[in-house]
Amino acid sequence: MRILYITPAYYPAVFWGGPIVSVRLVVNELKSSGLEVDVWTNALGLESNRETERLVDNVNIRYFKYFTLAKWQFPFKVLSALWKSHAEYDVFHLSSVWDPIAWLSAMVLILRKRKYVISPRGSLDNSLMSKSFIIKKIMYFLIIRKVITKSEGIHYTTVFERQRFIDFFGSDKPGIVAYNPMIASNYTKEVDQELLKQFAINPRKYVLYLGRLNWKKGIIELLEAWSRADRLDYKLVLAGPDENGYGRHVLAKIKSLGLEFSVVLTGLVDGDLKLALLQNAYLFVLTSMSENFAVAVAESMACGVPVLISNNVGIKELVLKYQCGKVVKLDTDEITNTLNSILRDDNLRNSLASNCKKAVEQELLPTSVARQIRNLYESIHPACRQP
């Protein structure tokens, strides 16, 4: 049984964010379960933008050269490649809907009458669409809605995402809810706290945001709340790459609020530096406008660090179930008050922290997540069933 997993980005394009980690884990577990899995993706993160094939974790990855228009990558050669080789595969999994590599592939699969499933990853949401340019709304009605309608099933990463999809699309689609997986042991490695000195911060003396500097992440609201909070001697660390120039708005807000000495911008972090920031934070915060899962929140929990997230973040289900953080509305006053309650009370913070690792270990194992996704494949192609 052969699966073709089509995704906008794959390792080593770590700057793309959390999905790089979770998709790689799922692909590896599917292969371990006995399925043959290939991955097609854009040539992001490579030394050059060119077509090439590589083995990553013993999985064959085909990288396509792409052309950039606005912020989108168009790998046009995927059209002819998929048209010619679609018969080599039994099921197709599109790990996106808006990215051109996904809907271009879907158009070919529809014409070839092939079955595919999709992972929208929180991108089908009324709150996001309402803020989109008219061209994106036209694109939805001309292309994306057909891609969704013709799909055989949907992989939702949270119950919250599924409900938002129903609100957006007007009806439900067959599918499964499977969280983004993690390997908890990857976050227990001891790293040198001295790494923090390059940012002039000390262990347990900062609140961490880890992610792209993007308008939907609620960073402006977070900065407003931080300016009003009883910060004591804590700093706010914003760790992540600028996206589409949004960083200049963040910098302007920091300056207008007089937070130049209270907020630290690190840029993109990875490897031991990223792990050091996660492990030594007092609190992790993500006040996003829309987030279907939030891998960085799960990573923080795996490190035993409690979280403060908005009720627009899909992983809130686990945070509430295991009492490993606080969930708030995207409201400056509520964020401020909750920050104060945790920063002033070490006992509360430590109580929340004590529940974090249990949530990850019991809910986010790669084997169980891959089993659920394989069940989705089996529902549309019996040959995927394990003997």
Structure tokens at 69: 């228009």
Contacts of 358 (CB under 8 A, 6+ apart): 322, 324
Which residue, chain included where needed, has tokens 């403060």? 308
pLDDT at 295: 87
Q: Give the whole-angstrom CA distance, residue 122 versus residue 164.
A: 8
387 residues of the chain, pLDDT tens digit each: 899 999 999 999 877 666 788 899 999 999 999 999 999 999 998 989 999 999 999 999 999 999 998 788 999 999 999 999 999 999 999 999 999 999 999 999 999 999 999 999 877 877 666 666 688 888 888 999 999 999 999 999 988 889 888 988 888 888 999 998 988 888 988 899 999 999 999 999 999 999 999 998 999 999 999 999 998 899 999 999 998 899 999 999 999 999 999 999 999 998 999 999 999 999 999 999 888 788 899 999 999 999 999 999 989 999 999 999 999 999 999 999 999 999 999 999 999 999 999 999 888 889 989 999 999 999 888 765 655
Residue type, 166: I
- In terms of Cα–Cα distance, which of 234, 260, 270, 187 is closest to 14? 270
Q: Show the 3-state SS of 60-94.
A: EEEEECCEEECCEEECCHHHHHHHHHHHHCCEEEE
CA 43, chain centre distance (Å): 19
Q: Are strands 283-286 and 307-310 parallel, antiparallel or unpaired?
A: parallel
Structure tokens at 316: 């809130």
pLDDT at 17: 65
CB 144 within 8 A of CB 123: no
Domains of the chain in start order, with CATH, are 2-181+365-384 (3.40.50.2000), 184-363 (3.40.50.2000)
Q: Is 387 helix (H, G, I), strand (E, B) or coil?
A: coil
CA 321, chain centre distance (Å): 21
